[in-house]
Amino acid sequence: MQYSVSFPGGTARYLFNSSFEQIHQWLAPAECIIVTDSNVAALYNHLFSGYKAVITVPTGEVHKNFSTVLSVTQQLLEHKAHRKTFLLGVGGGMVTDITGFIASVYMRGVPFGYIPTSLLGMVDASIGGKNGINIGLQKNLLGTISQPEFILFDTHFLDTLPASEWSNGFAEVIKYACLFDVKLFDELVERDIQYYKNDSSAASALIARCADWKNKIVLADERESGMRKLLNFGHTAGHAFETVCLVPHGHAVALGMLVACRLSEQYGLDAGVTKRLSAVLRQYHLPVHIQADTQQLMDVLHMDKKRSATGIDFIILKDIGKAEIQNVAFETIRQVIQQFINAGDH
């Protein structure tokens, strides 16, 4: 299945149920430089012959920074990359972010595309045109909004994905279900990770469904002036957990969704919804409690890009499938986070 989406910032093609070998239909390897990470390179180096160059970056979110950008840029110069050179990011969300960011600014922009290799990359990180790098404790402080020419989805890469990374990706799947899709939420309740690992067609359908939801939102609001902010559900507090507690992105988002739900209860959400979310997170091996320092979390939240003088725009659930944006005072956030940390998941 293939389709194209024309955003204000460019047209992106979505190539589902595809294989890496089909990439030759869309680009000439001799004019393409692959950017990947050390884990993917070790597993799939045999796929990368015939390309202009392969640039390998260290694995992990900690390396999504300006130092890595400078290193990749220097290697692009060494390989004589020019404005027609195609950059292909093959890896998880960190790789696609780095690739998209560099492609957007190198020589004021070169063509690029993605082959995400993680579930998180396939359902979320590679989609939507956001490309960013971290500066210190600030996640994605420097970034661009620039659409890839294509995203190729090859679920065979999931065969080598560690179990923890399956859980990591399902945090974003659960996010879409909470925001937009009651039926998907009910399906997740009935199934588990093993179901999707054993059924590649079900996994492919799930990935396409999540991509459809994100594309609908981004198409309506590419620059995040309104509706796209909904996609931050779980990410506001989640980014603080990720920074302070050094947990994987999906684990942090899971915790952030629970904090958002507890906050939502102050705006009318039934407490039963929080319990249902907690149960689904456990079902997909995601954390529902963590030990953390409230002040450290608040220090990070006070630097959040969505902050105002008195609070932060939080995504509040009204029910499964219904969400809204609410500016929440810092003191209210502190109280809820303190209760969450102290109470755990009871």
List active site positions.
Answer: 108, 130, 172, 214, 224, 228, 232, 235, 239, 249
Q: Are 118 and 169 in contact (CB under 8 A)?
A: yes
What are the C-alpha distances in Å from 11 to residues 89, 131, 150?
17, 16, 8
Helical pair 182-190 and 163-180, crossing angle rounded to 10 deg: 140
Strands (E), 64-210: 86-91, 112-116, 130-135, 138-145, 150-152
Torsion of Cα atoms, 162 then 168 then 169 then 172, to 10°: 180
Place of tokens 């959040």: 304
Number of other CB atoms surrounding residue 266 within 10 Å: 13
Q: Which amino acid, 220? A: A
Comparing CA positions, the residue from 140, 72, 142 lying closest to residue 110 is 72
CA angle 240–137–63, rounded 5-degree value? 110
Strands (E), 146-246: 150-152
* Rounded distance between C-alpha atoms, residue 177 and residue 38, angstroms: 32
